[in-house]
Every structure is written in structure tokens, then in C-alpha cells.
Amino acid sequence: MVLAAAVATSALAQAGGGAGLEVYTCIDRSGRKLTSDRFIAECSDREQRVLDASGAERRRIGPVLTEHERAAQEAERRQRAQARAQEIAERRAERVLITRYPDEASHRAQRELTLSQVDEVIEVAQGRIDELRTERKRLDEELEFYNGALYQAPVKLQRQFADNEQAGAEQRRFIVSKQEEKKRINERFDEELAKLRLLWAQQRAAQKALSPKAEKP
């Protein structure tokens, strides 16, 4: 320890020859105090103090991270950045939402409009199914000439039956998909409404808090 102190005194004395020189000092894993005019490799796993020529502390240098520690630190930094970016995006989305829907009536009107647009598409598909049913009735009447046995009918008629059945199945699947879409639309508007009610309440509270100040002369 006496030798280490002597080395520290000598290093500081040498640093006194130039104001820009620095002295690094630390306690290694064996409890020895080490001093040097450069980064101390033996203390790379622990904190080092950096002193100026007068012995005053300029700064401290943390332990050098291992590759695994650096990777973990970088992963944590990215995670914090992503969380912050997500938070900013959510705040921005909330501002857009409350600007678009200043009250519950405007939100309800948009829900009804969106659903009505899907209903119009469903109505068109249902109309197509009605047309196919009319066509199928005509095909059934034509099939009577062949004793109702499709396998005895001409290939053209058999193909018409197949096309009619396939087109009807496609339209029915399409209607089912649109009904599912209406369900998703309602779920989305329900989620928006719950969020909007909270935002509207916060907005009213903020306006109420500011109103007494606005009334003051």
C-alpha cells in the first residue's frame, strides 16, 4: 500500500508538469490500490477514478463490459427505445382519434356508415344468389327432359349445373366473410369508443381546470 501511494504521488507530481495530464487510480480485485497515467487493465472489471494534476477527481470510468454484457445492454437500450417510440405513436394516435371524433355522436355515425357500406356489398351478393336460384330453377326444368338424371343430360347442361353450384357456394362464402368483417368492425369501434370515453373525460377535466383561469380579468 505504501508503494502504491508512492506511485500515485509520483504520477501526480509528473502530471503537474502539464495541466492536461490525467492519473487513473483504482482498487484491484486483490485490494491493491493501483495508479497509472493511462487506463489500468487490471481494473477493467471495476470502476476507475480519473484525477487531475492536483489530485482532484475529474470523472469516473465504469467497468469494461464483456461481449455478453454489451449485447444485453444494447438489447435493453433497443427495448427502451421501442417502448418510447410505441408510447409516442400511441399518443399521436389518440390525438388523431379525438380530433376525428369530438363526441360520441360523430363516432356512432361513422360506425353506422361503415357497417352500411358492408351491408350494401352483402346485398349485392344476396342479389346474385337470387339470380343463381332463378337460373337453377330453369336448369331443373330443362333437366326434366332427361328424367331428372343429370348423368343422362348433355355435357353442356351438366357444366351449367356445376357452374351454378360453384357460383352459389362462392357467394355464400363471400357473405359469411362480410358478416365476419362486420363483427370485426363492431369490435374495433367498441374498442375505440372505450378509449374515446376516457379521452373525452380527460379533455373535459382539462378544460374545466383551465376555465377558472380564463375567467379571471
Q: Is the pLDDT of residue 178 over 60?
A: yes
Q: Quote the distance between the C-alpha of residue 111 and its chain's center.
A: 24
- Among positive and negative, which fits the CA dihedral 5, 6, 8, 13? positive
**Binning pLDDT at 50, 70 and 90, where does residue 99 land?**
very high
**Binning pLDDT at 50, 70 and 90, where does residue 210 land?**
confident
CA 118 to CA 188: how far, in whole Å?
A: 15
Please count the other Cβ atoms lying within 10 Å of the Cβ belonging to residue 64: 14
* CA distance to 45, 57, 170, per residue, from 52 (Å): 22, 6, 82
Its pTM stands at 0.60
CA 64 to CA 122: how far, in whole Å?
A: 66
Residue indicated by cell numbers 338424371: 149
- Supply 205's cell numbers: 377535466
Model confidence pLDDT, tens digit, residues 39-50: 988 888 888 999
Model confidence pLDDT, tens digit, residues 53-67: 888 999 998 887 777
Q: Is the pLDDT of residue 217 over 80?
A: no
Greatest mean pLDDT among 30-34, 56-60, 110-114 lies in 110-114
Domain ranges across the chain: 2-61, 66-100, 103-210
pLDDT value of residue 216: 52
- Average pLDDT score over the chain: 87
CA 187 to CA 181: how far, in whole Å?
A: 10
CA 59 to CA 51: how far, in whole Å?
A: 7
Q: What percent of the chain has pLDDT over 90?
A: 65
Rounded to an integer, the average pLDDT of 145-159 is: 91
